[in-house]
Amino acid sequence: MNHLVIATRRSALALWQAEHVKSRLEALHPALRVELLPMSTRGDELLDRRLDQVGGKGLFVKELETAIAEGRADLAVHSMKDVPADLPPGFTLAAITMREDPRDALVSNRYAALADMPAGAVLGTSSLRRAAQAMERYPELQVKLLRGNVETRIAKLDRGEYDAIVLAVAGLVRLGLAARIRARLAIDDSLPAPGQGALGIECLAARAEVRAMLEPLEHADTARCVRAERAVSRALGGSCALPLGAYATTAGEALQLRALVASADGKRVIRARATGGDPEAVGEAAAQSLRERGADAILHGGQ
């Protein structure tokens, strides 16, 4: 093959991610020409409601997958935290790249830490996971919906619509906006989403020649960790309607995984840990531990 087309969302962050993969592929395969196919997705267009109310994470990837299925593109580049736990039949994640800083970031023109924010201060996020963990520790804050791309969210903060917002460190770093970060939230204070900070490259499983070209982009440790994190989500239903965090690290051959499930208001947060060598087994063990601690009541709408 001497030509590949990457389907990508149109946001500045998505385009950065696609360009990053493009440059790596062209460096690995000097005769290869890589083209981007920027697209708008339903997730980019429905900005007035939470994702869990309008169809979930799949809204960010469905149009890209359609372009691949129809032959208009050969692959798609995603933020792994936006990829549903189960892919459609016939699709595969051909590579998961080395993870950027997985933490959440506090961005504010007024406050250097969540603990500095007074009662009634407005914190913006689109993530149930981030909101629940913030409200668990700081129930006096007002947490309000914040949708849009990174630049749009920061512009709303700068207009004074929010006192602070929470974004992923990785996106800010990749866009050259690390200077806007006031605090990188500790992993245990704001457990990341499964896959946060890693990029995933999706293609058709039957395209062996495409998979072979993408294989060198895989970062083995990151991929093992992300597979364990995603296994938690899959075992619990895989829905973004669930405030769920999962983060794994490696220690030699062993994986160490932290996971949580929370009620949307943050009044009930259940945490679990699991260790082992097999990513899927570790993720399933953490999910089972969460269920044993009462996660089912939250999963089925209780508090």
Per-residue pLDDT band at 239 (split at 50, 70, 90): low
Tell me the three state secondary structure of residue 274.
strand
Is pLDDT of 240 > 60? no
Q: Quote the domain boundaries for residue 256.
A: 232-299
Same domain, 74 and 205: yes
pLDDT in tens, 149-172: 999 999 999 999 999 999 999 999
Using CA atoms, how far residue 145 sits from 111, 122, 193, 235, 291, in Å, is: 19, 10, 17, 27, 28
Using CA atoms, how far residue 302 sits from 84, 211, 264, 268, 292, in Å, is: 23, 43, 10, 10, 15
Report, as an integer, the average pLDDT of 187-211. Answer: 97
Predicted local distance difference test score (pLDDT) of residue 54? 45
Contact residues for 255 (Cβ-Cβ < 8 A; gap 6+): 224, 225, 228, 248, 249, 275, 276, 277, 279, 282
The residue whose two tokens read 């000097």 is 30
Question: Which of 249, 299, 239, 240 is closest to 274 using CA atoms?
Answer: 249
Same domain, 112 and 176: yes
Same domain, 91 and 208: yes
* Beta bridge partner(s), residue 8: 38
The active-site residue out of 48, 52, 74, 82 is 82
Indicate which CATH number applies to the domain containing 258. 3.30.160.40
257 part of a folded domain: yes
Predicted local distance difference test score (pLDDT) of residue 299? 79
pLDDT in tens, 270-302: 999 999 999 999 999 999 999 999 998 887 764
268 part of a folded domain: yes
pTM for this prediction: 0.91
Predicted local distance difference test score (pLDDT) of residue 298? 87
Same domain, 205 and 290: no
Residue/partner pairs of 288-295 with CB below 8 Å, 24 or more apart: 288/235, 289/259, 290/232, 290/236, 290/259, 290/260, 290/261, 291/236, 294/268, 294/270, 295/236, 295/261, 295/270
220: burial class by Cβ within 10 Å (0-12, 13-18, 19+)? exposed
Instruction: Kindly report which listed range (58-67, 163-172, 220-229) carries the lowest average pLDDT score.
Output: 58-67
Instruction: Kindly report which listed range (43-57, 74-88, 189-203, 213-227) carries the lowest average pLDDT score.
Output: 43-57
Report, as an integer, the average pLDDT of 62-79. Answer: 96
Predicted local distance difference test score (pLDDT) of residue 303? 45
Instruction: Kindly report which listed range (96-100, 138-142, 211-215, 291-295) carries the lowest average pLDDT score.
Output: 291-295
Same domain, 89 and 117: no
Q: Is 82 assigned a catalytic role?
A: yes
Is pLDDT of 218 > 80? yes
Give the helix ranges, DSSP H, for the chain. Answer: 12-28, 42-45, 51-54, 62-69, 128-137, 150-158, 169-174, 208-214, 220-235, 279-292, 295-299
Is pLDDT of 48 > 60? no
Q: Is 252 left (phi over 0), alpha (psi -120 to 50) or beta?
A: left
Same domain, 202 and 93: yes
Counted domains in the chain: 3
Is pLDDT of 211 > 90? yes
Indicate which CATH number applies to the domain containing 85. 3.40.190.10
